[in-house]
């Protein structure tokens, strides 16, 4: 009874924290990062400086790449305390890191030139609200970028949703574009980033 009364958000938060806390120490293993780097590389190429927020930064690999460009002012948040701990160990104090939920971002509106989320959107329990928060903290004219998995075929998405703990929904290109459009993000572009991932970018008008 108790289990049934728990909301989807509570369930997904708990599953995601458990899953990623457990994975944090081995997340940077070479073979896995070989793939992840290819997924987020197109986003790195787009970001040309300014104040940047990496939402669901994980162990901070994307942030580490961003930090190589000196003109960047960088922030990262993640739901999993252990992921944040790994990122902090790796990045030191040069980057502002904190534990937070994408649905309630701890920043004022109009704060960032780029707000980016890589390979995490399918874990968000309310994807519309999550993207709305990302848009809220972006500056006017700022860019919101989501890179997320996309395996071409709905049955594979369904299988992934069943099997990966904390997974909520994997979107088709059209579905994710719809969320961007509903939120009034403009100049939307989409492209495949490597094989199993799609990048969607919109501008806050
Ligand atoms: C597959 S990892 C991706 C990490 C990193 N962005 C990358 O590209 O390697 C997904 C991340 O999403 C985080 N996450 C899941 N739900 C979240 C939420 N509601 N708010 C913030 N982060 C969340 C997890 O803790 C995890 O670190």
Burial 46-82 (b: 16+ CB within 10 A, else e): ebeeebbbbbbbbbbbbbbebbeeeebebbbbbbbeb
The per-residue pLDDT for 1 is 44
Nearest to 75 by CA among 94, 49, 50, 97: 97
Q: What is the mean pLDDT of residues 191-204?
A: 93
The answer, yes or no, to whether any atom of ligand 1 lies below 6 A from the CB of 124, is yes
The per-residue pLDDT for 5 is 60
Residue in this structure with the two tokens 């369904």, named with its chain if needed: 158
H/E stretch holding 38 reads: helix 30-46
The answer, yes or no, to whether any atom of ligand 1 lies below 6 A from the CB of 122, is no
Pocket test for ligand 1, best of 24, 37, 63, 78 (most atoms within 8 A of CB): 78
* Mean pLDDT score of the chain: 93
The residue extents of the domains of the chain are 2-203
Residue 34 and residue 37: Cα distance in Å, rounded?
A: 6
The answer, yes or no, to whether any atom of ligand 1 lies below 6 A from the CB of 148, is no
The answer, yes or no, to whether any atom of ligand 1 lies below 6 A from the CB of 20, is yes
The answer, yes or no, to whether any atom of ligand 1 lies below 6 A from the CB of 115, is no
Fold of the 2-203 domain: Rossmann fold (3.40.50)
Ligand 1 centroid from CA 82, angstroms: 11
Burial of 45 (0-12, 13-18, 19+ CB in 10 A): exposed
The per-residue pLDDT for 3 is 57
| Residue whose CA is at the smallest distance from ligand 1 atom 13 | 56
Answer yes or no: pTM beyond 0.85.
yes
Residue 196 and residue 158: Cα distance in Å, rounded?
A: 15
Is the CA virtual torsion 126, 95, 192, 160 positive or negative? negative
Residue 151 and residue 196: Cα distance in Å, rounded?
A: 5
* pLDDT tens string 68-100: 887 779 999 999 999 999 999 999 888 999 999
């Amino acid at each position: 009874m108790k289990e049934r009364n728990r909301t989807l958000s509570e369930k997904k938060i708990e599953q995601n924290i458990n899953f990623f806390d457990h994975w944090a120490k081995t997340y940077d293993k070479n073979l896995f990062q070989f793939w992840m780097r290819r997924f987020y590389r197109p986003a790195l190429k787009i970001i040309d400086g300014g104040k940047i927020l990496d939402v669901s930064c994980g162990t901070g690999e994307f942030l580490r790449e961003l930090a190589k460009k000196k003109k960047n002012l960088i922030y990262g948040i993640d739901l999993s305390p252990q992921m944040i701990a790994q990122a902090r160990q790796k990045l030191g104090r040069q980057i502002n890191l904190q534990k937070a939920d994408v649905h309630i971002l701890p920043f004022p509106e109009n704060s960032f030139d780029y707000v980016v989320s890589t390979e995490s959107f399918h874990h968000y329990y309310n994807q519309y609200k999550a993207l709305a928060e990302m848009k809220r903290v972006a500056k006017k004219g700022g860019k919101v970028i989501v890179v997320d998995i996309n395996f071409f075929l709905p049955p594979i998405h369904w299988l992934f949703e069943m099997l990966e703990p904390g997974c909520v929904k994997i979107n088709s290109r059209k579905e994710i574009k719809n969320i961007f459009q509903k939120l009034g993000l403009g100049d939307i572009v989409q492209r495949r980033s490597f094989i199993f991932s799609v990048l969607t970018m919109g501008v806050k008008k």
